[in-house]
Amino acid sequence: MIENKVLVIAYYFPPMGLSGVQRTLKFVKYLPDFDWQPVVLTSNPRSYYAFDQTLLDELSDKNIEIVRTPTKKTKNEKPLKQVKFPSYFIQKTGRAFLQTIFQPDPKIRWKKTALRLADEIFKNNDIRAIFATAPPFTDFLIARELAKTYNVPFIVDYRDVWVDNPFHFYATPFHKVYAINLEKEILTHADKIIVTTRHIKENILRRYKFLTQEDVVIISHGYDPEDFLFDEKIYLNPNKFTITHSGVFQDDRTPEYFLKAFANFLDLKKGAKENSFLKLIGVMRNEHTKLIKKLNLDNNVNITGYLNHKDAVRNLLDSDILWLMLNDTVRSPGKLYEYFGAKKTLLITSPDGLMKRQALESKAAFTTLPNDIEAITKALLELYDLWKQRNLPIPSESFANQFNRKELTNLLANELSRVTDIV
């Protein structure tokens, strides 16, 4: 029996789907292998953009205690309901309204119930440390309060930046100052700060001079090799040139420029219309499906809708090219590392920054700016020729292995051991 227990605070957790749950799920899955038993405190939403029971099934033999808010079940409890993504305008307007009222984010309404349930967790378990992952940054506030109450160390995990997040709305200078002070309060007391990229680390160290290099540890996103194990061999169709994008075009991310380039490519390359296909895995906004029709791409673009994680991975393996689109240098999409795990040729349409540099390190990536239609068209033409020649580059085994989720979890376990040794 594992004696070291860690409370994991994560608003987003399976059966909720999408990429935001993957990092936390895999930490929870593999921490017991390194002598840390997680107890998960999470939410219990009845509606969300995607649900994936198969993710939760990964923990079925791990004996993980999961405490959800609210915990009371009623006979009239509604089943899980998947909702559509709103338009970018509605999403942006709604976020601005909510972030004007609620700080640090709208999930602050979850805090009171989470703290009450956490008290029960501490009564029933010998919790030695707290691990909180964000966004939402309300998770950090909960961790700070519990750490103070129960005198245990806490670690914060930044999946994205906080104060300088381009999608955070500050109605007045006061709102931003308040956010800075709130973040400073958390980081002053945190026993360790974990980030996914050097960019986030530098951002934090630049703003808060009292922190040292040792205070902030980088543990990147990754992929789980077990997700790529299938009972049957997956064969590529040698007569189909398949490009796949997995994920949701949230916020101001748009496939518009790529779709226009793809249409150009089909017109320019003889025979491409008959054997070239773009597969879009995930929930699509109405404006994007309308654009596909407008560009007459219906026969060459396949929108799968949301797929469970196992099926999504299967589709990555059944592709020639994996496309990732990003229009800022702040976010660190976990999808890129899953692409590395698939060991496929990459097409990255992104500004110059960490993600592009890391993709190029794979020696299997073609890169362009996200809105450069001409450059994307040129890249597609070149990739098609390489495909015809059966000469597409792929990442090496050694390159991909550095992003193994299990090994990354070992790094987290080491940090948990360090902070508990200090207390």
Answer left, alpha or beta for residue 108, where phi above 0 means left and psi between -120 and 50 means alpha.
Answer: alpha
Q: How far apart are CA 217 and CA 224, in angstroms?
A: 21
Question: Structure pTM?
Answer: 0.89
- Domains in the chain (CATH in brackets) are 5-222+404-422 (3.40.50.2000), 225-401 (3.40.50.2000)
The separation between the first and the last C-alpha atoms of the chain, rounded to the nearest angstrom, is: 23
Per-residue pLDDT of the chain (423 residues; tens, 9 = 90+): 667 999 999 999 999 877 789 999 999 999 999 999 999 999 988 766 678 888 999 998 889 999 998 755 544 566 776 666 666 566 667 666 667 777 888 889 899 999 999 999 999 999 999 999 999 999 999 999 999 999 999 999 999 888 887 777 777 888 888 889 999 999 999 999 999 998 899 999 999 999 999 999 999 999 999 999 886 777 788 899 999 999 888 767 889 999 999 999 999 999 999 999 999 998 788 888 999 999 999 999 999 988 888 899 999 999 999 999 988 776 677 889 999 999 999 999 998 888 888 889 999 999 999 999 999 999 999 999 999 999 999 998 899 999 999 999 999 999 999 999 844
Residue 229 DSSP SS3 = coil
The dihedral built from the CA positions of residue 83, 88, 93 and 98, taken in this order, carries a sign that is positive
CB-based contacts of 321, cutoff 8 Å, min separation 6: 241, 242, 243, 244, 344, 345, 346, 347, 383, 387, 392
Q: How far apart are CA 392 and CA 407, in angstroms?
A: 29
